[in-house]
Amino acid sequence: MACQSQAPDLLRPMPMGRALLMAKVYKRAKRGAGRHLQLQEWFQRTDAWRTLKPGPRALYIELKRRFNGSNNGDIFLSHRDAATALSVHRNTVGPWFKELEVRGFITMTKAPFLGPSGIGQASVWALDELPTQDRKPAQKRFLKWRELQPPRTKTVPARHKKGASDCLKPPNPQGHGIDTVARS
Protein backbone atom coordinates (compact mmCIF):
# COMPACT_ATOMS: atom_id res chain seq x y z
CA MET A 1 0.00 0.00 0.00
CA ALA A 2 2.88 2.31 0.52
CA CYS A 3 3.50 2.34 -3.22
CA GLN A 4 0.01 3.62 -3.97
CA SER A 5 0.34 6.60 -1.67
CA GLN A 6 3.51 7.68 -3.45
CA ALA A 7 1.89 7.68 -6.94
CA PRO A 8 2.74 10.73 -9.01
CA ASP A 9 0.21 13.58 -9.29
CA LEU A 10 -0.41 12.82 -12.96
CA LEU A 11 -2.12 9.52 -12.15
CA ARG A 12 -4.47 10.97 -9.52
CA PRO A 13 -7.80 12.41 -10.62
CA MET A 14 -7.63 16.19 -10.97
CA PRO A 15 -10.27 18.35 -9.30
CA MET A 16 -12.48 20.24 -11.78
CA GLY A 17 -11.47 23.71 -10.59
CA ARG A 18 -7.78 23.02 -11.13
CA ALA A 19 -8.36 21.79 -14.72
CA LEU A 20 -10.15 25.01 -15.62
CA LEU A 21 -7.35 27.07 -14.12
CA MET A 22 -4.80 25.33 -16.31
CA ALA A 23 -6.94 25.84 -19.42
CA LYS A 24 -7.17 29.56 -18.75
CA VAL A 25 -3.41 29.89 -18.73
CA TYR A 26 -3.30 28.46 -22.25
CA LYS A 27 -6.11 30.68 -23.52
CA ARG A 28 -4.75 33.77 -21.81
CA ALA A 29 -1.75 33.77 -24.14
CA LYS A 30 -4.08 33.66 -27.14
CA ARG A 31 -6.25 36.59 -26.08
CA GLY A 32 -5.43 40.02 -27.36
CA ALA A 33 -3.46 38.76 -30.32
CA GLY A 34 -5.16 41.47 -32.36
CA ARG A 35 -6.88 41.58 -35.69
CA HIS A 36 -5.18 40.71 -38.92
CA LEU A 37 -5.99 41.01 -42.58
CA GLN A 38 -5.49 38.67 -45.45
CA LEU A 39 -4.04 39.33 -48.88
CA GLN A 40 -4.77 36.18 -50.83
CA GLU A 41 -2.10 34.72 -53.13
CA TRP A 42 -4.35 34.94 -56.22
CA PHE A 43 -4.90 38.62 -55.38
CA GLN A 44 -1.18 39.36 -55.13
CA ARG A 45 -0.46 37.61 -58.46
CA THR A 46 -2.67 39.97 -60.49
CA ASP A 47 -0.96 42.43 -62.84
CA ALA A 48 -2.73 45.30 -61.13
CA TRP A 49 -1.20 44.44 -57.73
CA ARG A 50 2.26 43.40 -58.93
CA THR A 51 2.83 46.70 -60.75
CA LEU A 52 1.31 48.86 -58.00
CA LYS A 53 3.72 51.23 -56.23
CA PRO A 54 4.27 50.95 -52.45
CA GLY A 55 2.23 54.05 -51.53
CA PRO A 56 -1.05 52.86 -53.04
CA ARG A 57 -0.40 49.38 -51.63
CA ALA A 58 -0.10 50.82 -48.13
CA LEU A 59 -3.30 52.81 -48.66
CA TYR A 60 -5.16 49.67 -49.78
CA ILE A 61 -3.96 47.84 -46.68
CA GLU A 62 -5.20 50.76 -44.53
CA LEU A 63 -8.61 50.59 -46.24
CA LYS A 64 -8.77 46.84 -45.75
CA ARG A 65 -7.76 47.28 -42.10
CA ARG A 66 -10.88 49.39 -41.59
CA PHE A 67 -13.06 46.63 -43.08
CA ASN A 68 -14.65 44.72 -40.19
CA GLY A 69 -16.24 41.88 -42.12
CA SER A 70 -19.62 43.46 -42.71
CA ASN A 71 -19.06 47.12 -43.65
CA ASN A 72 -17.84 46.80 -47.25
CA GLY A 73 -19.33 49.70 -49.18
CA ASP A 74 -19.42 51.74 -45.98
CA ILE A 75 -15.70 52.15 -45.21
CA PHE A 76 -14.95 55.74 -44.18
CA LEU A 77 -11.47 57.08 -44.88
CA SER A 78 -10.76 60.72 -45.59
CA HIS A 79 -7.59 61.97 -47.22
CA ARG A 80 -6.45 63.51 -43.95
CA ASP A 81 -7.04 60.35 -41.94
CA ALA A 82 -5.24 58.30 -44.57
CA ALA A 83 -2.31 60.72 -44.58
CA THR A 84 -2.07 60.57 -40.80
CA ALA A 85 -2.25 56.76 -40.76
CA LEU A 86 0.45 56.46 -43.44
CA SER A 87 2.62 59.33 -42.14
CA VAL A 88 2.59 61.30 -45.39
CA HIS A 89 1.30 64.71 -46.46
CA ARG A 90 -2.43 64.85 -47.19
CA ASN A 91 -1.84 65.96 -50.79
CA THR A 92 0.14 62.78 -51.38
CA VAL A 93 -2.71 60.34 -50.80
CA GLY A 94 -5.12 61.87 -53.35
CA PRO A 95 -3.33 60.35 -56.37
CA TRP A 96 -3.07 57.05 -54.48
CA PHE A 97 -6.85 56.86 -54.07
CA LYS A 98 -7.22 57.65 -57.78
CA GLU A 99 -4.68 54.95 -58.70
CA LEU A 100 -6.54 52.34 -56.66
CA GLU A 101 -9.81 53.35 -58.34
CA VAL A 102 -8.33 53.23 -61.86
CA ARG A 103 -6.85 49.78 -61.27
CA GLY A 104 -10.16 48.48 -59.90
CA PHE A 105 -9.25 47.78 -56.27
CA ILE A 106 -11.72 50.22 -54.70
CA THR A 107 -14.94 52.00 -55.62
CA MET A 108 -16.25 55.23 -54.13
CA THR A 109 -19.79 54.53 -52.98
CA LYS A 110 -20.44 58.04 -51.65
CA ALA A 111 -18.50 61.15 -52.68
CA PRO A 112 -17.32 63.64 -50.06
CA PHE A 113 -19.63 66.55 -49.37
CA LEU A 114 -20.14 69.48 -47.04
CA GLY A 115 -22.81 68.66 -44.47
CA PRO A 116 -25.68 70.96 -43.48
CA SER A 117 -23.75 72.38 -40.54
CA GLY A 118 -20.71 73.11 -42.69
CA ILE A 119 -18.76 70.07 -41.53
CA GLY A 120 -17.24 67.98 -44.31
CA GLN A 121 -18.19 64.34 -44.72
CA ALA A 122 -15.51 61.90 -45.87
CA SER A 123 -15.71 59.62 -48.88
CA VAL A 124 -17.15 56.15 -48.42
CA TRP A 125 -15.32 53.26 -50.08
CA ALA A 126 -15.94 49.65 -51.09
CA LEU A 127 -13.27 47.01 -51.65
CA ASP A 128 -13.85 45.38 -55.04
CA GLU A 129 -12.46 41.99 -54.00
CA LEU A 130 -15.32 41.41 -51.52
CA PRO A 131 -19.12 41.47 -51.77
CA THR A 132 -20.74 44.65 -50.47
CA GLN A 133 -23.01 44.85 -47.45
CA ASP A 134 -26.10 45.16 -49.68
CA ARG A 135 -25.27 41.65 -50.99
CA LYS A 136 -23.94 42.74 -54.37
CA PRO A 137 -21.26 40.33 -55.59
CA ALA A 138 -17.59 41.32 -55.63
CA GLN A 139 -16.74 43.22 -58.82
CA LYS A 140 -13.04 42.23 -58.98
CA ARG A 141 -12.33 44.81 -61.70
CA PHE A 142 -8.61 44.56 -60.92
CA LEU A 143 -8.51 41.15 -62.66
CA LYS A 144 -9.23 42.83 -66.02
CA TRP A 145 -6.74 45.68 -65.57
CA ARG A 146 -3.80 45.73 -67.99
CA GLU A 147 -0.94 48.18 -68.12
CA LEU A 148 -1.15 50.39 -71.20
CA GLN A 149 1.74 49.80 -73.54
CA PRO A 150 3.07 52.76 -75.54
CA PRO A 151 2.19 52.38 -79.22
CA ARG A 152 4.89 50.87 -81.38
CA THR A 153 6.19 53.23 -84.01
CA LYS A 154 8.41 52.62 -86.98
CA THR A 155 11.82 54.12 -86.80
CA VAL A 156 12.09 56.36 -89.84
CA PRO A 157 15.28 58.23 -90.69
CA ALA A 158 14.97 61.96 -90.16
CA ARG A 159 14.26 63.99 -93.27
CA HIS A 160 16.21 67.07 -94.20
CA LYS A 161 14.46 70.24 -93.24
CA LYS A 162 14.25 73.35 -95.37
CA GLY A 163 17.33 75.44 -95.02
CA ALA A 164 19.51 72.45 -94.21
CA SER A 165 21.80 73.47 -97.04
CA ASP A 166 22.69 76.58 -95.02
CA CYS A 167 24.65 74.36 -92.67
CA LEU A 168 26.84 73.21 -95.54
CA LYS A 169 28.20 76.72 -96.31
CA PRO A 170 31.89 77.19 -95.69
CA PRO A 171 32.58 79.41 -92.67
CA ASN A 172 33.37 83.10 -93.22
CA PRO A 173 37.14 83.51 -92.88
CA GLN A 174 36.88 87.11 -91.64
CA GLY A 175 34.28 86.55 -88.95
CA HIS A 176 35.43 83.14 -87.82
CA GLY A 177 32.17 81.46 -88.65
CA ILE A 178 29.95 84.50 -87.95
CA ASP A 179 28.26 86.18 -90.93
CA THR A 180 28.97 89.88 -90.93
CA VAL A 181 26.69 92.32 -92.66
CA ALA A 182 28.13 95.48 -94.10
CA ARG A 183 26.20 98.50 -92.98
CA SER A 184 25.69 101.33 -95.39
CATH number for the domain harbouring residue 82: 1.10.10.10
Q: How far is the CA of 156 from the CAs of 56, 149, 152, 160, in angstroms?
A: 39, 20, 12, 12
The number of distinct structural domains making up the chain is: 1
The helix (run of H) or strand (run of E) holding residue 43 is: helix 41-44
Question: Would residue 92 count as lying in a domain?
Answer: yes
Helix then strand then coil, % of the chain, to nearest 5: 40, 10, 55
| Integer Cα distance of 43 and 138 in angstroms | 13
What DSSP character marks residue 126?
A: E
Question: Would residue 111 count as lying in a domain?
Answer: yes
Asked whether the predicted pLDDT for residue 28 surpasses 80, the reply is: no
**Confidence at residue 23, expressed as pLDDT on a 0 to 100 scale:** 52
pTM over 0.75: no
| Integer Cα distance of 136 and 131 in angstroms | 6
Question: 104 by DSSP, 3-state: which?
Answer: coil
Question: Would residue 56 count as lying in a domain?
Answer: yes
- Mean pLDDT, residues 15-25: 53
Question: Would residue 1 count as lying in a domain?
Answer: no
For 80, list phi and psi in degrees, rounded to 5. Answer: -65, -45
For 118, list phi and psi in degrees, rounded to 5. Answer: 85, 5
**Confidence at residue 9, expressed as pLDDT on a 0 to 100 scale:** 54
For residues 83 and 94, the answer to whether their CB atoms sit within 8 Å is: no
- Mean pLDDT, residues 5-23: 54
Structural domain harbouring 66: 41-143
